[in-house]
Amino acid sequence: MSDIAVATTRTRAILLMITAILCFTLMDATAKALSPRIGVLPTIWARYAGQMLLVLVLIAPRLHSVVRTDHPGLQFMRSILLMSATAFFFTGISLIPLTEAAALMALNPVLITLGAALFLGEPMGPRRIGGIAVALIGAMIIIRPGSAVFSPAALFPLAAAGCYSAYSLLTRRLGSGEDVWTSLFYTGLVGTVLLTMAVPFAWQTPDAVAWGMIGLITVFGTFGQLALIRAFSLGEASMLAPYSYTGLVFAALWGALFFAELPDFWTVVGALVIAGAGLYVWHRETYRR
């Protein structure tokens, strides 16, 4: 592949990654507004059931080919990890400000970098190890364990970051050999089946506004997943990971616009430490390479 073709492919992967993060932050903001109306579990169920319905409509003409996969085990594991990440994060944003949760979730790029080295054989130099350590310090600045401001609810976004990182690595492991619609189908199918068994115990009937929000979550979640899967099929996990930090900007914007949430000083400091660590690692180990 020529240098121009490689650069074009990387640019497409980066733009798809940013698009995915934009969709996900809009989905998160909508979920934060929806949770008080119908509860956290029905909100998570709506995210997956809506995606499943939309995907079925879009792939109906070729459903028989989309459902075929050469990696059923990986698809199932991906789906469980993403569902877990969604559950942890939606629970977190129902309890703490959106910006704070997003800042903690921003640990996932350095976790992806570590996982890519350990499990995918991607380069892992001392600067990446240092970046991971600094990013963890940034997370501790935000949650400040042992201080009066520490909230156990902050652990939910941290758990979400871990699950999402593992999901991203498995998506990268699948590569471009698997149809993106196949991956999207199984992500929605597993989440919908498992959550449908649980949601009757926490069901609250949505009103008209809530149904509108459910529709938005469906659209944002589905197209975000589609963009993310395509991005990781085109570009290295460690190359794309730093662009997750755009989520900090988007989350701060939606938090201020929709919820009048302004991050405190230490949340900003911690977020900058995490983002700075990840961007430094990317610049030194990926860009210069």
> What does pLDDT average to in each consecutive run of 10 residues of the chain (289 residues)?
67 88 94 94 93 87 88 91 94 90 81 76 69 78 67 88 89 75 88 94 93 94 85 76 79 90 83 78 57
- The domain spans of the chain are 3-287
In the block, residue with structure tokens 């877990």: 84
Angle in degrees, CA 241, 243, 246, rounded to 5 = 135
Residue (of 235, 278, 282) closest to 105 by Cα position: 278
Angle in degrees, CA 72, 78, 81, rounded to 5 = 140
Residue 160: the pLDDT is: 94
Structure tokens at 17: 């990654």
Judged on CB neighbours under 10 Å (0-12, 13-18, 19+), 83 is buried
Residue 146: the pLDDT is: 60
DSSP characters for the chain?
--HHHHHHHHHHHHHHHHHHHHHHHHHHHHHHHHHHHH-HHHHHHHHHHHHHHHHHHHHGGGHHHHT--S-HHHHHHHHHHHHHHHHHHHHHHTTS-HHHHHHHHTTHHHHHHHHHHHHS-----HHHHHHHHHHHHHHHHHH-TTSTT--GGGHHHHHHHHHHHHHHHHHHHHGGGS-HHHHHHHHHHHHHHHHHHHGGGG-----HHHHHHHHHHHHHHHHHHHHHHHHHHHS-HHHHGGGGGHHHHHHHHHHHHHH-----HHHHHHHHHHHHHHHHHHIIIII--
Residue 57: the pLDDT is: 87
Residue 189: the pLDDT is: 92
Using an 8 Å Cβ cutoff, are 189 and 133 in contact? no
Residue 143: the pLDDT is: 73
Residue 112, CB half-sphere, CA atoms under 13 Å: how many? 30
Residue 281: the pLDDT is: 65
Phi, psi (rounded to 5 degrees) for 11 = -65, -45
Q: What is the pTM of this model?
A: 0.81
Q: In whole angstroms, what separates CA 122 from the centre of its chain?
A: 21
Using an 8 Å Cβ cutoff, are 9 and 149 in contact? no
